[in-house]
Amino acid sequence: MASQWLFTWIAVSGALSIAPMFPLLGKEFHLNNNQLAMLTGITVITLGVANFVIVPLSNIFGRRTISLVFAVLITLTCIWEALATSHRSLLAARAMNGVVCATSETIPVQMIADVFFLHERGLWMGVYL
């Protein structure tokens, strides 16, 4: 559970902590405030929508397999973000990062439901959240 919580913290904080970079990104890519806000907005939207795909995938292929594959994809999308040379490329990388980071919202909840008895789940969900 501790490794999954660490994975969750790294994935979500990495995906949503771009706001301090807005002044630098605005100068680099000549972006206005709406374009800068879209960098976070697209990530949040894809984080929410991707859960509808990740849950069935994890039920079919297993939670561990999906967690490991998507952890690799998180790394690749972060590299893509770092190497982006245009606003469109960065926006696409942020969207894909949101899709793959969604595993950090669904897999731990499923793991808690799988591992703990019904009367213990409330405590562990509280610890997770």
What pLDDT sits at residue 9? 77
Looking at per-residue pLDDT, the higher value among 61 and 110 belongs to 61
b/e per residue 116-125 (b: at least 16 CB within 10 A)? eeeeeeeebe
Average pLDDT over residues 11-30: 84
Average pLDDT over residues 102-109: 83
Rg (C-alpha) for the chain, rounded Å, is 16
- Which structural domains are found in the chain, ordered by start? 2-128 (1.20.1250.20)
Alpha carbons 43 and 48: distance in angstroms, whole number: 9
Tokens describing residue 60: 């079919």
Q: To the nearest whole number, what is the mean pLDDT of the chain?
A: 87
What pLDDT sits at residue 1? 65
Give the predicted TM-score (pTM) of the model.
0.82
User: Could you give the C-alpha distances from 77 to 27, 40, 49, 109, 115, in angstroms and in order?
Assistant: 22, 15, 17, 24, 30
Average pLDDT over residues 41-46: 92
